[in-house]
Amino acid sequence: VVGGEADFLRGLQVAQLALKHRQNKNQKQRIVAFIGSPISAPEKELETLGKNLKKNNVSLDLVSFGEIGDNTEKLQKLLAAV
């Protein structure tokens, strides 16, 4: 049985940190996230993270499946901030 929780906010922050310290800095920075579980992070923190990604010139692609109804509003606010 698969279970547990995924910390979406922390995952994006770690991905951004990995992009910041990458070796090949000639390519564009892009994060692709697959979301299949409910997001527990507040909308305000997601918007702040989106603004931070935009400031650091990081592109964000989201693929949502599973809990589409619960996550739609939060993910739209996150993408609007990027």
Tens of pLDDT along the chain (82 residues) come to 566 677 899 999 999 999 999 998 898 999 999 988 888 899 999 999 999 999 999 999 999 887 788 888 999 999 999 8
Other Cβ atoms within 10 Å of 65 Cβ, number: 10
Taking the alpha carbons at both ends of the chain, their separation in whole angstroms is 35
Cβ atoms of 38 and 74 within 8 Å: the answer is no
HSE value, Cβ hemisphere, 13 Å, CA-based, for 6 = 12
